Amino acid sequence: MTNVLLQIQNITKTYKVTNKTINALKGVSLDIYNGEVLGLLGVNGAGKSTLSSIIATLHPATSGDILYKNSSIYNDLPSFRMRLGYCPQKPNLNPNLTLEQNLLFAGRLYGMNDDQIADRIIVLAKRFGLESYLAQKAEVLSGGYKQRFMIARSLIHNPEFIILDEPTVGLDPHIRRSLWDVIRELKKDGITVLLTTHYLDEAEKLSDRVVILDQGLIKLIDTPDKLMADFKQKNLEDVFLELMNTNKE
């Protein structure tokens, strides 16, 4: 896994909320390797969603750069976006369109022709168990199916790299498990996944490496096994708790 797909270089993000300046990211640097599942962990407010939305090009960084295959993504944003799938924490599908129309337009927006899209819809609907919902409007879906659909939509254009921002938050345990299978399949297909989560069991089971963010800074980056060995803990949750306690002291 030495093939670097994305280099995050010294990213900072500052914003103002009612005259208060918040430093959400304070110089984050990391490499994301081709084909890996990288878990992005941290407590609420650690900067996970801010970082993922900056990599997804939804928001600009205050400073720093992101290199995709050694070239800044900001030099040619549309080309980078063609290679990227983004599934935000909050489902932002169009509630007035059917699932099929949502997928159809998502495909067209990435320059696919209708035949390619139709084939892709069949594949994705089968893979995510959405066949019987295709003719229904997105607003009727339950939380779990909405999340499945969101992942399906972000894959419509066969991206190389997908960002999943808290894809299982608030879902029932059995639905979480079924989404884990989906993420494992993405990895099998060679898609690079950035998985933002605050479920540590999820990160432990799915990630090749994990990044622990705390107050806008990277505390650790390593494989879950290595972290558990270094901290002499049985699971990632205990590693995380020890790390947070150390910080408090």
Nearer to other proteins, 111 or 173 (CB): 111
Phi-psi region of 190 (alpha: psi -120 to 50; beta: other; left: phi over 0): left
15 binds other proteins (CB under 8 A): yes
Q: Nearest distance from residue 216's CB to other proteins, in Å? A: 16
**CA–CA distance from 118 to each of 40, 77, 124, 141 (Å)?**
34, 27, 10, 21
Tokens 């993922």 correspond to what residue?
Answer: 52
Residue in 45, 64, 91, 129 binding other proteins, rule: CB under 8 A: 91
- Tally of helices (H runs) and strands (E runs) in the chain: 9, 10
- Report the residue number, 111 or 190, with the smaller CB distance to other proteins: 111
If binding is defined by CB under 8 A, does position 83 make contact with other proteins? yes
> CB-based contacts of 173: which residues, under 8 Å, 6+ apart?
none
Q: Which of residues 25, 93, 186, 212 is near other proteins by CB under 8 A?
A: 93
Near other proteins in 116-155, by CB under 8 A: none
Positions in 156-175 near other proteins (CB under 8 A) = none
Query: Whose Cβ is closer to other proteins: residue 66's or residue 203's?
Result: 66
List 57, 72, 116, 178, residue binding other proteins (CB under 8 A): 57
- Collapsing DSSP to helix, strand or coil, 30 comes out as strand
DSSP alpha helix (H) spans, the chain: 48-55, 77-82, 99-109, 114-127, 143-154, 173-188, 200-206, 224-230, 236-248
From 26, 69, 108, 146, residue interacting with other proteins (rule: CB under 8 A): 108
Would you put residue 171 in left (φ > 0), alpha (ψ -120 to 50) or beta? beta
Give dist(CA 39, CA 240) in Å, integer.
Answer: 13
Rg of the chain in Å (alpha carbons): 18
Q: Closest Cα partner for 167 from 87, 55, 93?
A: 87
Q: Provide the minimum distance between the beta carbon of 115 and other proteins in the complex, in angstroms, as a whole number.
A: 15
Choices 34-42, 89-97, 122-130, 193-201; region in contact with other proteins by CB under 8 A: 89-97
Minimum separation from the CB atom of position 160 to other proteins (A): 8
What is the DSSP track for 141-170?
--HHHHHHHHHHHHTTT--SEEEEESTTTT
In the bound state with other proteins, the residue whose beta carbon lies nearer, of 80 and 199, is 80
Q: Nearer Cβ to other proteins, position 81 or 127?
A: 81
Instruction: Work out whether 23 is an interface residue with other proteins (CB under 8 A).
Output: no
* Binding-site ranges for other proteins (CB under 8 A): 15, 56-60, 74, 77-79, 81-84, 86, 88, 90-97, 101, 105, 108-111
